[in-house]
Structures are given as structure tokens and as C-alpha cells.
Structure 1
Amino acid sequence: MNATTPVPTPARLALVDDHAIVRAGYARLIELEDDLVVCAEFGDPDQALTALAGALRGRVDVLVLDLSMPGRSGLDLLRSIVRAGLPLQVLVVSMHDSAALVTQCLQAGARGFVSKSADPQALIDALRRVVRGEPVLPPGHDPASPRPPHHDLTARELEVLRLLLTGMPFEAIAQQLGVSEKTVSNHQTQIRQKLGVANAIELVHCARQHGLMP
């Protein structure tokens, strides 16, 4: 009797995005592929970390991760996953795709980065490459480029900076991030000090210079 070829096990994916409609879109796209399957979805980073480090430890191959979420940011979650030594790869999928942010995600431990504006097939291709352990870089990203001067901004400071650059007032930023207006103000002060700028005009100029504008 001839030996049969074993059917490869689909790669197991978990989705972390605070928008249910986005997760549903990913799931519908992925369910069309025989070699990929969504085994878990999370709208909250803390909930995701608890599950991935607990009941789902070793049962997820790739985490599809958004960055901008209320409370803990996606970048914070990524760093926690790396610190915990969880056996999975992380593919960041974000609407914010500046070169500086891509670099920071890769340095934090992400295997790849895909812009939310990319073609759907680009996401599927990226997932397959990450499953194989291959890095995924956005078009035009040079991993050999010098580390940006704002690399010492924390994940939360980068998130606040992106929102400030959209013109969003402190009150709205505080509501979106679930923090106080005073906390947002303190973040802005730290951001200006770290970037060496004195006011909002210089902050915008610095952001344009380093590709941080949304």
C-alpha cells in the first residue's frame, strides 16, 4: 500500500484589533485560504496577552496585531510578548506606516509589518512569509538605514505624538486613550524634550523631517 502524503496543518492565527469590523474582514479574507486559519480574536491587548500566555500558549503561530488601541498600545503588547518568550510570530498591520514606526516595531520584535492600505493579497502573502519565518518589510523600507533620532520615544509617546499631529485636542486624545488630559499634557512635554523642540510648529517640522506625519 502506497504511503499517503500528510495534509499540512493550517497555520493558526490570532487577531488583535479593537475594531470588530476589521477583525471580521480579516477573518473572512483568511477563511478563503486552506493553509491559514483564525483560531482566536481579541479586541483588547490585555485580554490577548492573558490568553496567549495562558490557555493559548503554543497554540498560535502568528499574531496579527494592530497598534492604535485604547489602553495598552499594540507596541506595548508586542514587547510584552517578546519579554514573555511566547512561541509565536507577530505581523503588525497598521494604518500608521511611517518608516520610523516600522523600524520601531521591527526592533521591538515584530517579524513583519503591513500597511492597512495594502492590497488584501499582500496581507495573505505576508502571513505566509511570516509563517515560514521570513521577515516582511513595507515597500521602500531599508532595514540598514540609521536608527531615527526619536527612537527613545516610548510606545505611548509615539501614539500621543501621532494623535497630536492630526490636530486632535487633548480632551479627545485623553478619551481615545482612556487617560486624563494631564497625562496627555505630560506626554507632550516629554515628547518635546526628547525631540529637542520648543513648540508645536517645531514639533510638526520635526515630524515632517522624519516621516512621522499621519
Structure 2
Amino acid sequence: MDIFATCKNIPMKKDEKYLTLQVLAAYFERVQLSVAGFHKAKKDADFDLKEKTGQPCDYFTYGVACSEVEIDCLTGESQVLQTDIVMDVGKSLNPTIDIGQIEGAFIQGLGMMTSEKVLMAEDGRMVNCSPLSYRIPNVSGIPRKFNVTLLKNDNAVTHLYSSKGVGEPPLLLAISVFMAIKAAIQEARKEIGLSGYFRLDCPATVEQIRLACGDQLVKSRK
């Protein structure tokens, strides 16, 4: 929408046929070709905030993910063996870019779910404030098999060219990794006679996984 707003203010756009010539003409006329603004999606006024009824958005972005993980009960390390994602992005304008956005958002969420734990000192300082201590996702943390599929769905979307926003929604799908890790820990606990509920806070760091697995070393620590 900002692009449309900018183009309306270019006085020479009607005289030049090609975009490159329009840009060149704008440059010599000192016409700014960038603009900042906000876009508010048009929607029917049928949402009642007080009653929580109606439709608050033009559309919803849906996605589903299935992840398979492996954990080391002795060290607490985890590895995502495979992740399969199916994402509804409407009618994708550029599938290559959209898939890249999905992969990037998922990996960002993966860090939030497994390694990016902020440690604070009593005086409010962040203790782990370097890449060595604050573990962000790296190449080794990416799923060994990473499959992303765009759901074929170009109907019932009233947005630009039937497309949907895809920048951040896939981040939430990383919960599949966290839950897979918890399921793996549960199986490890069964082998040593532990059953029932156990607490696993997010992110599932190496320390969290190691302590949750439970064994004689953990018992002696307690």
C-alpha cells in the first residue's frame, strides 16, 4: 500500500513508459521514491470486543508441523531429525521467498523453544550476553530433514492477489520440537521406572533435558 501511495505522487510517471526511465526522471527531479506509512486492513464492523463475537481479521494463517527428535540422556543434547511443515499462505506470490520465510521463522522459534534462555543477575544484568553463552540456532541445529509444503489454497482470501502473510506465523510451529523433546524424555524416564507428570520449562535447554531424564546422578544432586 505504501508503494501505491508513493506512485501517486510521482509527477512524471505518465510521461515515461518504462520504470527505469521513471526512476531516472524522479532522480533528476529530486522526487523521493520511498515512503513510510501504515496499512489498516478493511474489514466488516462485525467484531464486538466486549462480547468477543464476530470476525476480527480478514483471514487467518494456518499451519501444521510434525517433528522427530533425538535426545542424549547423558548430556542433555537434542537434535531435530526431521520436520515436516504444511503452511496455508493462500495463493503464494513467490513460493521460493515464502518457503524461505517459513524456514527462517521456524528456526527462530526453534531457538526460543530449545536454547535461548536469558540468565539475569540479581542486579538486573544479563549474564549470558554473548554468542558463546546465549545459544542462538546455528547450522547444526537445523533439522536434518526439513520439508516445507505450501497448501494449495487460493480461494476465500480477499487480500492482495489472494496471498496471506507468512513472515511470523510459522514461528509458533516450533512447539512441535519442544513437545517431541518432552515425549522423548518421558520414554527415557520410563526405562528407569519413572512415570507420571514431570515439569519441563521452555526453553528445553541441555540442562533442563539432562535433569528431566532422571537417574542416579540426578538423585544424588538433589
Q: Is the TM value for this pair above 0.5? A: no
Normalized per residue, which structure has more helix?
Answer: 1
Q: Rg larger in 1 or in 2?
A: 2
Q: Which has the higher contact order (CA 8 A, sep 6+)?
A: 2
**TM-score normalised over the length of structure 1:** 0.24
